[in-house]
């Protein structure tokens, strides 16, 4: 449906690349969809109509009040009007999408605080349980390392963050 809307010229995606060669209008992951466009009322109206049509034809419900509209370098008053048309939340940068911070600076240490906090909270929950040494090792190797690898697959971590994660793991494991 989205592709048809773009091909009909009713919705314009966001152009990227040298000489604006590629137009991006949506990204999908599992049941999550990120719609990307230029700032225009035509796009907002087309998007609202498309989502309502999707509801009608699919029988699925779009939960507008849980959806977010994020504007980059867009005036707040325009965003407020667009949010009222779409009946969604107004979100500012930075925000978290699929567990990753968007618009943060991975060179700054506070960017990594959510990952460190997540690791610490997982370990705290596991510390209260009577786990064998083997269970602890499995949790550290496979569960916590996957959290770090997920972040590291998108962002280059400073050496001090990697050291902090190793230190947290060593404390849990009793080294």
Position 120 scores a pLDDT of 87
Position 129 scores a pLDDT of 66
* Alpha helical stretches, state H, the chain: 2-7, 41-58, 76-86, 113-127, 133-138, 145-152, 159-173
Q: How far apart are CA 43 and CA 22, in angstroms?
A: 18
Instruction: Give yes or no for a contact between 115 and 151, defined as CB atoms under 8 angstroms apart.
Output: yes
Angle, helix 76-86 to helix 41-58, in steps of 10 degrees: 20
Q: Per-residue pLDDT for the chain (175 aa), expressed as one digit of tens each? A: 888 998 999 999 888 888 877 888 888 888 788 888 889 999 999 999 999 999 999 999 988 888 899 988 899 999 999 999 999 999 888 888 888 888 888 999 889 988 999 888 888 777 656 777 788 788 777 877 888 888 999 999 999 999 999 888 888 776 5
Q: How far apart are CA 150 and CA 153, in angstroms?
A: 5
Q: How far apart are CA 173 and CA 157, in angstroms?
A: 23
* Angle at alpha carbon of residue 25, lines to 56 and 4, rounded to 5°: 50
Contacts of 40 (CB under 8 A, 6+ apart): 12
């Amino acid at each position: 449906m989205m592709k048809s809307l773009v091909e009909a010229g009713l919705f314009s995606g966001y152009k990227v690349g040298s000489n604006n060669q590629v137009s991006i209008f949506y990204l999908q992951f599992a049941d999550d969809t990120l719609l990307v466009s230029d700032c225009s009322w035509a796009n907002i109206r087309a998007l609202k109509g498309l989502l309502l049509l999707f509801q009608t034809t699919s029988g699925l419900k779009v939960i507008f009040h849980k959806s977010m509209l994020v504007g980059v370098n867009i005036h707040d008053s325009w965003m407020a009007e667009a949010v009222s048309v779409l009946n969604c939340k107004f979100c500012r940068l930075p925000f978290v999408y699929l567990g990753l911070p968007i618009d943060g600076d991975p060179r700054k240490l506070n960017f990594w605080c959510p990952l460190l906090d997540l690791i610490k909270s997982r370990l705290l929950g596991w510390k209260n349980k009577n786990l064998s040494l083997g269970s602890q090792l499995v949790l550290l190797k496979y569960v916590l390392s996957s959290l770090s690898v997920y972040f590291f697959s998108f962002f280059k971590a400073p050496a001090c963050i990697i050291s902090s994660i190793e230190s947290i793991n060593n404390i849990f494991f009793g080294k």
